[in-house]
């Protein structure tokens, strides 16, 4: 793993020292690869989030996912009038659904921010208290105790080539 890291680091160093034409080629190539990667992720996301349609049905009945089945209160499908099957009618309904989803997202974001704020506030509002008590030391026996002789200072070794002041 370390070898791979050093190889990548070496390639980046060589690229930094390369001429302008080579650096532009790498920029275009890596930008294209990253854009393709993002588009692929976007398509996968769309395939996961949008419901699939039953291929046997001509009208395109939407199959329900496990998330929709688990919800207690399901909305009933209201038949759409023919006037609202136009492009702008569908676009308007899509914006309505998008508005509901964004609203739900902001509400859940708001509740999670409030919960995070409460946790943080509780964490920082806790106080620690310390009580210091004087420790009772046992009395020193007077018999046979004497003050030890002080330790004489130890001279430091002299370094070669350094003169004393």
Q: pLDDT at position 144, please?
A: 59
Does residue 158 belong to any structural domain of this protein?
no
Q: pLDDT at position 86, please?
A: 77
Q: pLDDT at position 38, please?
A: 94
Backbone angles phi and psi of 62, in degrees to 5? -80, 130
* 81, pLDDT greater than 70: no
Average pLDDT, the chain: 77
Q: Distance between CA 27 and CA 22 in Å, rounded?
A: 9
Q: Does 127 or 57 have the greater pLDDT score?
A: 127
Q: pLDDT at position 76, please?
A: 60
- CA torsion angle for 56, 60, 66, 69 (degrees, to 10)? -110
Q: pLDDT at position 52, please?
A: 60
Q: pLDDT at position 130, please?
A: 74
User: What share of the chain has pLDDT > 70, as a percent?
Assistant: 71
Domain count of the chain?
2
Q: Does 32 or 77 have the greater pLDDT score?
A: 32
Q: Distance between CA 97 and CA 75 in Å, rounded?
A: 13
What is the average pLDDT across 37-60?
Answer: 71
Q: Are 60 and 54 in contact (CB under 8 A)?
A: yes
Does residue 77 belong to any structural domain of this protein?
no
Shared domain check, 89 and 47: no
Does residue 46 belong to any structural domain of this protein?
yes
Beta bridge partners of 53: 62
Does residue 34 belong to any structural domain of this protein?
yes
Does residue 78 belong to any structural domain of this protein?
no
Residues spanned by the domain of 91: 85-122
Does residue 151 belong to any structural domain of this protein?
no
User: pLDDT tens digit string along 137-153?
Assistant: 766 666 555 666 778 88
Q: pLDDT at position 37, please?
A: 94
Does residue 45 belong to any structural domain of this protein?
yes
DSSP 85: G
* 94, pLDDT greater than 90: no
Across 124-155, b (16+ Cβ under 10 Å) vs e yields eeeeeeeeeeeeeeeeeeeeeeeeeeeeeeee
Does residue 143 belong to any structural domain of this protein?
no
């Amino acid at each position: 793993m370390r070898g791979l890291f050093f190889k990548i680091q070496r390639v980046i160093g060589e690229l930094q020292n390369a001429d302008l034409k080579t650096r532009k080629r790498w920029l275009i190539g890596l930008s294209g690869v990253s854009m393709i990667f993002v588009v692929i992720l976007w398509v996968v996301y769309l395939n996961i989030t949008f419901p699939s349609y039953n291929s046997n049905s001509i009208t395109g009945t939407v199959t329900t996912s496990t998330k929709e089945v688990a919800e207690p209160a399901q909305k009933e499908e209201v038949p759409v009038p023919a006037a609202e099957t136009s492009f702008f009618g569908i676009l308007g309904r899509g914006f309505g659904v998008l508005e509901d989803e964004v609203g739900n997202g902001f509400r859940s974001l708001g509740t999670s921010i409030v919960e995070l704020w409460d946790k943080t506030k509780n964490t920082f509002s806790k106080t620690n208290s310390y009580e210091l008590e004087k420790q009772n030391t046992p009395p020193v026996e007077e018999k046979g105790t004497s003050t030890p002789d002080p330790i004489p200072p130890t001279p430091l070794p002299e370094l070669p080539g350094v003169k004393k002041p």
